[in-house]
Amino acid sequence: MEAACTNNMSETQDTIFGKIIRREIPADIVYEDDLALAFKDINPQAPVHILVIPKEPIPKLADAGDQHQALMGHLLLTVKRVAEQVGLTNGYRVAINNGAYGGQTVCHLHLHILGGRQMKWPPG
């Protein structure tokens, strides 16, 4: 487990997800294009738990800028595409944990797709 992704860790740094992008460590990859990668979470919190990440190592959502507007839209549409691909026809949750209080542990922006069971609210 990596340290919490705190505000003073905003500088671009390599992470476990960078190693997955470069195929230095294995992952169960379900989708890839020029800008994004999607792979199964190693510690799934639902029957389907997939992470969608940009290949550009943006540490967290709060570090995204105006120059990332198109990329952010691409990531959301990638979530939709992957959810359809894996058959989440009854709905799913999309979550972004941002920074320490957000519970972010890997400092490379990622969108969680959680599905295959009824989600509860609030998430806690």
Catalytically active residues are 110
Q: How far is the CB of 39 from ligand 5GP (least distance, A)?
A: 5
Q: Does 43 bind ligand 5GP (CB under 6 A)?
A: yes
Residue by residue, DSSP assigns 21-73 as: HTTSS---EEEE-SSEEEEE-SS-SSSEEEEEEESS---SGGG--GGGHHHHH
Q: Does 105 bind ligand 5GP (CB under 6 A)?
A: yes
Helix (H/G/I), strand (E/B), else coil: 97: coil
- Part in contact with ligand 5GP (CB under 6 A); list of ranges 61-69, 71-79, 103-111, 115-123: 103-111
- Part in contact with ligand 5GP (CB under 6 A); list of ranges 6-14, 35-43, 69-77, 81-89: 35-43
Contact 16, 2 (CB under 8 A): yes
One residue of 18, 97, 99, 115 binding ligand 5GP per CB under 6 A: 97
Q: How far is the CB of 52 from ligand 5GP (least distance, A)?
A: 11
Copy the structure tokens of residue 12. Answer: 């671009």
Q: Does 106 bind ligand 5GP (CB under 6 A)?
A: yes
Strand order in the sheet with 48-54: 29-32, 36-40, 48-54, 111-115, 92-95
21 φ, ψ to 5°?
-60, -40
Site for ligand 5GP, rule CB under 6 A: 16, 27, 39-43, 51, 97, 103-106
